[in-house]
Amino acid sequence: MPTPRERPRYQRVADELRRRIMAGAIPAGSILPSETAIMAEFEVSRGTAREAIALLRSEGLAVTEMGRGTFVRPNLPVRRLGSERYRRELEQIRGDAPPETSFTVDRGVRWNDYRLDKAFQDVPADAATAELFGVPPGTMLLERRFVFYADGVAQQMSTSCYLLGMVAGTPLADPEREPWPGGNTAQLFSLGVVITGIQEDVRARMPVADEVKTLRIPSGTPVVTITRQTYAENRVVEVADIVVPADRVSLGYWIDLT
């Protein structure tokens, strides 16, 4: 096993810069030393300096902005996703709460400042989505794609699907009605569908190119994906895939053992 002195020089430079970042000597959001400064301090070539910075980027510790330099990745607000968050949407049905959804509550976003991009289309169910619904592949769905924003920054992407035969011609199929206070819970209730349970499967993976671009995900940062099945009794009435950068989310669940 190589000793520290035998390790490649770019790794040794990255080790020291990483130590300074973790110790707070280079605070979150501040600029890292330039390639020229690294070359002078560590007596290395420009290529070595670039490799050291690239390593920190691959670890998700640094981000490079064209024309500005390389910065220590800023500390972003962490959104807690808990099993109780959908109960806030039930309050919208009773009419005893200000307009909100689980996302606005999680992020502390005022309703007037809430923004999302949206795109609706009719699509045939692929094999995976059909299995989640319990219907044959090719069954027509209303697919709704959203990008959710907080403080002007895209924080979450989701694809939410309904059986087209259930929602065609209803306000749920009208993108101009979004955002809708109470989210899916209130939307389904408007059709006489009462949600009785939600199943979520959580995984982690590396982001694809569109997610990196839309959510501005630093290199080396994975995403958390949540596959959601919304139930009315024994029937699945909605299937959603939610994507959130892993450094912006904390998962917390209460498990009742009584």
Q: pLDDT confidence of 1, banded at 50, 70, 90?
A: very low
pLDDT, residue 67, reads 80
CB atoms within 10 A of CB 226: 18
CB-based contact 154:223 (threshold 8 Å): no
Q: Are strands 235-245 and 153-163 parallel, antiparallel or unpaired?
A: antiparallel
CA distance linking residue 233 with residue 196, whole number of Å? 6
DSSP codes of every residue in 204-252: EEPPPHHHHHHHTPPTT--EEEEEEEEEETTEEEEEEEEEEEGGGEEEE
Q: Where are the domains of the chain?
A: 4-72, 79-252
Q: Specify the CATH number of the domain 4-72.
A: 1.10.10.10
Between CA 58 and CA 52 the distance in angstroms is 10
- CA distances to 28, 159, 193, 205 from 211, rounded to whole Å, are 23, 13, 32, 12
pTM of the model: 0.73
pLDDT in the model for residue 235: 96
pLDDT, tens digit (0-9, with 9 covering 90-100), for 3-47: 555 789 999 999 999 999 988 899 988 999 999 999 999 999 999
Evaluate whether 195 touches 201 at the Cβ level (below 8 Å). no
Per-residue pLDDT reduced to its tens digit, 174-184: 999 998 888 88
Q: Please report which confidence band the pLDDT of residue 98 belongs to, taking 50, 70 and 90 as the band edges.
A: confident
For the segment 121-136, the average pLDDT, to the nearest whole number, is 97
Q: How many CB atoms lie within 10 A of CB 74?
A: 11
Distance of CA 190 to the CA centre of its chain: 28
User: By mean pLDDT, which of 44-48, 99-103, 253-257 is the weakest?
Assistant: 253-257
Q: Which fold has domain 79-252?
A: Chorismate lyase (3.40.1410)
Within 13 A of 207's CA, how many CA atoms are on the CB side? 25
Cβ contact 104:111 at 8 Å = yes
Angle at which helix 35-42 crosses helix 9-23, to 10 degrees, equals 110
Whose structure tokens read 């949600």?
195
